[in-house]
Structure 1
Amino acid sequence: MEETIYYLSKNPDVLEKFKKGTVSLIGVTKEELKAITDVFSTNSLSVINYWK
């Protein structure tokens, strides 16, 4: 999940498409998808709250 967040943060064009819902993250669980969405909606690149 961290790698996905890193990739999206380094590729703003893909991030915008993700936010618009025009790209899919293959192999990402619903929980991970929510975490990634939350990280970018709060502008916080920390995923520590989602680790078990």
Structure 2
Amino acid sequence: MTQSPCIQICQIDPDQDLCVGCFRTLAEIAAWGAMSDAARDAVMAQLPERERRYDQP
């Protein structure tokens, strides 16, 4: 089972639609519990690039 990338810093950047802690979108966070492991793995694979590209205010 894929673990959550949540690091307990739950703040959504509304301009970029990302959590600044885990870099998931609100939709991904909301759906996380119902996602298959493959879907979670796909999201997890995108997080490093999202973090790298994140433009902090």
* TM-score normalised by the chain length of structure 2: 0.36
Q: Which has the higher helix share?
A: 1
Larger Rg: 2
Question: Which structure ranks higher in relative contact order (CA pairs < 8 Å, sequence separation ≥ 6)?
Answer: 1
* TM-score normalised by the chain length of structure 1: 0.38
